[in-house]
Amino acid sequence: MRSCCGDRPTTDRQRLDLLLLDAVHAHRNRPAFQLGERLLTYGALDAGADRLAAQLAAEPGDRVAIIAPNVPALAVALLAAWQRGAVAVPLSARLREYELDAILLDAEPREVVTISAYRGQSFVELVVRLAARVRSLRAAFVVDDVGGVTDELNWETDRVQAERLGPDTALILYTSGTTGEPKGAVVPHIRETRAAAALGAILELGCDDRPAQAIPIAHAFGLTCVLTSLRAGACVVLADSSFSPRHLLAALRARRATLLHGSPALWISLLKAAPHRLQWIRAGLVGGAPVPSELVESLDRLGTRLLNVYGMTELGAASCCRLDDPPHVRYGTSGRALPGYELRIADDGELLVRGESVTRGYLGRPNETARSLVDGWFRTGDLGSIDSADNLRITGRAKDVVNVAGFSVFPAEVEGFLLTHPDVAQAAVVSVGHEAMGQVLQAFVVPRPGSDVAPAELVRYARGKIADYKLPYGVRVVSELPTLASGKPDRLALRSLAAEARMGADAKLDYDPGRGV
Span 260-283, average pLDDT? 84
Instruction: Tell which of 133, 158, 187 closes a domain.
Output: 187
Asked whether 239 and 249 are in contact (CB, 8 A), the reply is: no
Give the Cα separation of 40 and 25 in Å (integer): 15
Spell out the residues 6+ positions from residue 472 whose beta carbon is closer than 8 angstroms to its own: 414, 429, 440, 441, 442, 443, 459, 462, 507
Pairing of strands 236-238, 211-213: parallel
Percentage of the chain beyond pLDDT 70 is 91
Answer yes or no: is 383 within a domain: no
Task: Kindly report, residue by residue over 149-194, the tens digit of the pLDDT.
Answer: 999 999 977 889 999 999 999 999 998 655 567 899 999 999 999 9
Task: Kindly report, residue by residue over 444-467, the tens digit of the pLDDT.
Answer: 998 888 888 899 999 999 988 888
Burial 358-370 (b: 16+ CB within 10 A, else e): bbbbbbebeebbe
Give the Cα separation of 517 and 508 in Å (integer): 17
The CATH number of whichever domain residue 414 belongs to comes to: 3.30.300.30
Span 67-75, average pLDDT? 96
Answer yes or no: is 148 within a domain: yes
Answer yes or no: is 416 within a domain: yes
Instruction: Tell which of 140, 158, 187 closes a domain.
Output: 187
- Of 67-76, 400-409, 507-516, the poorest mean pLDDT is in 507-516
Span 286-311, average pLDDT? 90
State yes or no: pLDDT of 428 exceeds 70.
yes
* pLDDT of 241: 65
The pLDDT confidence band at residue 72, using thresholds 50, 70 and 90, is very high
The CATH number of whichever domain residue 93 belongs to comes to: 3.40.50.980
Phi and psi of 435, rounded to 5°? -60, -45
Answer yes or no: is 120 within a domain: yes
Average per-residue pLDDT for the chain: 88
* pLDDT of 313: 94
Answer yes or no: is 48 within a domain: yes
Range(s) of the domain holding residue 438:
402-516
* pLDDT of 270: 86
The total domain count for the chain is 2
State yes or no: pLDDT of 488 exceeds 70.
no
Task: Note the pTM of the prediction, 2 decimals.
Answer: 0.82
Quick one: which of 311, 334, 321, 35 has its CA closest to 192?
311
Q: Which residue has the higher pLDDT, 102 or 263?
A: 102
The pLDDT confidence band at residue 213, using thresholds 50, 70 and 90, is very high
Instruction: Tell which of 129, 156, 187 closes a domain.
Output: 187
Instruction: Quote the crossing angle between the two packed helices 16-27 and 42-55, to the nearest 10°.
Output: 140
Give the Cα separation of 352 and 372 in Å (integer): 10
Quick one: which of 287, 102, 219, 3 has its CA closest to 306?
287
Q: Which residue has the higher pLDDT, 285 or 239?
A: 285
Task: Kindly report, residue by residue over 74-114, the tens digit of the pLDDT.
Answer: 999 999 999 999 999 999 998 999 899 999 999 999 999 99
Quick one: which of 355, 324, 331 has its CA closest to 341?
355
Task: Kindly report, residue by residue over 120-149, the tens digit of the pLDDT.
Answer: 899 999 999 999 999 999 999 999 999 999
* pLDDT of 503: 42
Answer yes or no: is 110 within a domain: yes
The pLDDT confidence band at residue 263, using thresholds 50, 70 and 90, is confident
Percentage of the chain beyond pLDDT 90 is 60
Answer yes or no: is 374 within a domain: no
Answer yes or no: is 342 within a domain: no
State yes or no: pLDDT of 227 exceeds 80.
yes
